[in-house]
Structure 1
Amino acid sequence: MYLILTCQPYQLHGNQVYLTADRARQLRLLRNSLDGKFGQLTLLAPSVVDGSESALHADCDAGRLQAFNPANEEIRVEPVLQHILPNSPGHWKNILQSFTQSACVLQPEINSAADAVIADGIFQSTGVSHPIVLVHSDASSGDHHSRSRTALLRDRLTHRRCRRSCERLAKRSELSLFSSESSMRQYSKYARNSRIFCEPSISNDDVISEADLLKRLCCDTPSLPLRLVSHAPLENKYGVNLSIAIIRYARNFGANVSLDIYGQGFQRSELQYQIAKLGLTREVRFQQHASNATESLQQQRQYDAMLLTPVIDCDLQPFLSCYSSGLPMLGFDHSCFAKQIAADSAGIILPQHDLQRCGQQIAELELHRGQLIEISLSARQAACRHSRESWYAKRAEWTLDAIPRFPRTSLPDVLPSAASAQQHDPALSGLPT
């Protein structure tokens, strides 16, 4: 049995389970990648009973929730508490004593400082010695400007306790999966076996086919401009004005190039004045985002490459969105960008402090379209390597390497029923303990 321990609740309406779309997708990908090698996949999470049917339908219609049938999915969903969230290590200690009698692997999820109660519950459960796969995500910093000094001090203490619990849990875990390089740097020195595991935003179905990409590239002729696209807020600190200047330099070198900018912000009128002053009103345009994901994907596939601004050093997710459409990246010599481009061979590194040279390099790319074909195909291949399915296949491989065999295989893969567990364990009754 593979047990996922989380404080993120799911919703119940009658006997029907409702999960967020992200959670349902994660469970299916994990189930498929592990392929039953550690027994049945089981989610232990707080359940929230929603009595408002209209609100539930509204959440489903908006895509925030979706009905989930555990029996059809062959994924078990069990409530660790009903109506209230588990808020003490004692809750999780009792839960683990009830749900770890059969052989299993534990996957504690730490998504915020409050989730440290899961780690503390594991430490208090002296009888629990199962292999652990820690999944750690960076907590959102949030807006602290309006917080009182007492509240800030309390939050700081909570985060310090969480950090210490995560350090202990990383030492105890057979495999530690971190969502970012920052959390990897913070905890890898305590972990026996650490990996970066980002939750990808694209699936194999989102990636443009090679035939469609080649068709788009072969349709390009010298009479068509090199079509660049940029996504950035229209604010001073993001440097959209620098991207516009680069297009002017590229055209000065004879390049047939255009730029469409997607973004909102108070700097728009100032940027429109700059565009007019540089004589680029036909070549540089502001565009509106499509209303849904399908239209957005088709919109993105109209372009030849993504142009970052010299100020932005983006993480992996914007890369994946572009890669899925076969768009190479034109970015600047920031360390993270250079590292990613070197790994994927799917872009061009521009000098951050020499806009004229940037324009010259774009002009050279427009003149030698064969290079564009090469890096566009590399971008598509990188998208396939970084798809959800590929990342979960890597994760399964890491897990099997860390836990080579299912422990205590002689025991049956059976969970106690919710009814019997609640009769014997006050922590599962839905009442405070």
Structure 2
Amino acid sequence: MRSGREPARALIDRLAPAFTELSDPVDPIGDGPLGWPGYGDAIAAAASRTGESESVVCGVAEIGGVTAVVVAFEFGFFGGSLGTRTGTRIEQAFERARTLRVPVVSLVMTGGSRMQEGTLALLQLQRIARQLALTRAAGLPHIAVLRDPTTGGGWATLGAGADVVLGLRGAQVGFAGSRVRPPGYTVTQQFAAGLVDQLVPPEELRTRLERWLRLVTSPADSPAPVPPGLGASSLPDTGWDAVERARASDRPRAAAYLASYFDWHEPISGDRCGGVDSGVLCGFGHRSGATIAYAAQCGTATRPAGFRTAARLVRLADRLGVPVLTLVDTPGAANDEAAEKSGVGAAIADMFTAVAAARVPVTTLLIGEGGSGGALAFAAADRMWVTRDSYFAVISPELAVAILKRDPSRVRGTAEELRLRPPDLVELGIARGIT
């Protein structure tokens, strides 16, 4: 059996100790809306072979103690293709999720739209897209699991359109299937392009799903607590001292703060536009029984994909009612030619807007360098704290000297004049306090 190609019910049994299938009598379809010769016989043969009456199995499941509606594709039934009756089942499943106010888990394995039903099958993508939109508007999460294969309209709706996208290792995932454009595109390539959040070994799927369902259904009911500082215990004497401390290679970075702050956490990855920035960590974490979302800079120049991924995280957290923690640590936004071509200005604007529009509280801790707008885009306007080994400035002292046409020897003095030390930031009302 190829990776992820177990029958729908076997997979459901493996993931969910309790499952109640939705009642959905399927009307006889004959040779279908196009009168395709032999289609009715092929439907009967597929039903006999798989024990299913359509290409999806839908129902209410308990996964890790969380109730969810499951949409599981049966690849043995016409290659998991989308027909008119498939669309009806998926529509009913999402409607049930909204009635119950529970998440949706899509276990996707499909070759695309069903040829024997022509354009009417293709129109099911619009039908599914509307259900995705209504479910998002209702503030309910949707987790997709990409199995082998996930192609065509199934990838372009239930797969790529989910809030969290988990890809089973080894799966073929792409809009064009292997019969259209061999060789097929892989889930690993989609992950590298920022279109999949996590690569999951099939044997770990149940554990990962259980964790994700806990995270998206248990938001903290108060702002994220401010993490304690992990670095220096004393304050810098001068502005230049603050800069050197923030740039020290042995200073605690974002990964150390996240490990200390959360009991456990799960990352999301990618900007959904073809990019990944390894210098930005985003995801949801479990802390004291509740969920807090995080977007953390890792001390490098933040690239457009990093800003877009963080903005995606903030918007998703806001829709799910999950408070957000941001960790600021960057010398500034990347400004090389590649960054400009990738729209760094628009990406920064996107992050500024996401934070400004958030209805959930955003808490910010400056843990290192706070370089200009690239750092400020991650910062809450009224809820920022700073550590003792950090600084925040309109621009680095070196670049300030160059812009002001000062002698390079005046860098240290300029750092003092910029008033970028932690106590300065509190006195100026930029930060609430030092941790």
Q: Same fold (TM over 0.5)?
A: no
Q: TM-score, normalised by structure 2?
A: 0.33
Q: Which has the higher contact order (CA 8 A, sep 6+)?
A: 1
TM-score, normalization by structure 1: 0.33
